Structure 1
Amino acid sequence: MSDLTFDHLLPRSKGGETTWENVVTACSKCNLKKANHLYHVANMKPMQWPYKPNVHELHKNGKLFPPNYLHESWMDYLYWDSELEA
Structure 2
Amino acid sequence: MKDIAMLGVQWLLTIRRPAQITRSEFRNFKRSAMRYIVRDRQLFRKQSKNVPLVRVIDDVRGREEILARLHDESGHRSREGTYRKVAD
- TM-score normalised according to structure 1 size: 0.26
Q: Which has the larger radius of gyration?
A: 2
> Comparing both chains, which one has the higher relative contact order based on Cα–Cα distances under 8 Å and sequence gaps of 6 or more?
1
Say which structure is richer in helix.
Answer: 2
